[in-house]
Amino acid sequence: MRWPVVNNSVVDRRAALAGTLIALLAGCAELGVVGDGTTVSWGPPNEGVLVDGARLPLAGDGFFVPPRWAARGTQWGSDELIDTIAFVGRAVSAAHPGSRLAVGDLSIAGGGKSKHHRSHQTGRDVDLVLFARNAAGKPVELTEMRRFGADGKTVGGGEPLWFDAARTWTVVRALVEAPGPGVANIFLYAPLRDLVLDHARASGAPDAIVDLAGQALAQPSDSAPHDDHLHVRIYCSPSDASCTDYAWRKPPKKGRTIAAEEDIAGEMAERPRIGSMLHFRPKW
């Protein structure tokens, strides 16, 4: 969206946002901002708010919120994000009995700026703790984020652990297959991204799904490398007219009601292979 300009300078965005929301709440229910019983993401993910947000339970089928993030109270998101996390949790539980997805920050109540993130403001971002295995190859349930090096081994002290590409691929595949508006970005350290996609190909995952995952996965260029967690962002819901997407791929023409390989293949056929899949080369 374009922000108001006075005397050739951008007006303070937070003040403009607050003023606009007051106007919306005063009498623009027809825009779907108030009164329809659903969540509303307003603005871009790094300069917006969340209206009537939904709260993620601290535990559910295949997922939990570790104590550090539970204490922050950052479990607020859009309906679509909450549904996506639940979908991924069920996928993890089904594919890896006994494993649970550790969920970090979503948004604070009402969205907007928090002391922990520049983004995560509109209820469409969530941090997911990476999966790991110990020296014996057994799955480990992490309740804190551990950094992984390019070889997939933890760095920075503590018990040596190894990045679990198999369980991480389950998460990534579920994200790109999840019903709803679709996943826009999955930020991850580039070498770990390659390990995930290598595992996906080796496991026989359908080409269309791996290609879509390859486009969504990327190491961000303007922040930390994301070598200790997945930062996931979903597209705006079509019903949130004032929500702004920041993504190099256009969202699907319509949200999926079911996850199906043929739907994803159709989406891929409608657009060129662009974005992170070519950016990192040579394989993806």
Q: Is the pLDDT of residue 223 over 60?
A: yes
Q: Which of 220, 230, 223, 102 is nearest to 176 (CA)?
A: 230
Output DSSP code: residue 151.
Answer: T
- DSSP helix/strand/coil, 258: coil
Question: Model confidence over 159-184: pLDDT tens digits?
Answer: 999 999 999 999 999 999 999 999 99
CA distances (Å), origin 33, targets 21, 79, 119, 213: 9, 14, 21, 32
Cβ partners under 8 Å of residue 239, min gap 6:
32, 38
Backbone angles phi, psi at 249, to 5 degrees: -110, 140
Which is it for strands 217-218 and 183-187: parallel, antiparallel or unpaired?
A: parallel
Q: Which of 112, 35, 102 is nearest to 68 (CA)?
A: 102
CB contact at 8 A, 251 and 181: yes
State what percent of residues in the chain have pLDDT above 90.
Answer: 60
Return the domain boundaries, the chain.
9-279
Q: Which of 102, 124, 99 is nearest to 111 (CA)?
A: 124
CATH number for the region 9-279 comes to 3.30.1380.10
How many C-beta neighbours within 10 Å does residue 245 have? 18
Q: Which of 256, 154, 243 is nearest to 212 (CA)?
A: 256
pTM listed for this prediction = 0.81
- DSSP helix/strand/coil, 31: helix
Q: Which residue has the higher pLDDT, 220 or 154?
A: 154
CB contact at 8 A, 205 and 172: no
pLDDT for res 31: 40
Tokens at 57, concatenated: 């339970």
Most confident of the ranges 44-53, 95-104, 202-211, 213-222:
95-104
Q: Is the pLDDT of residue 81 over 60?
A: yes
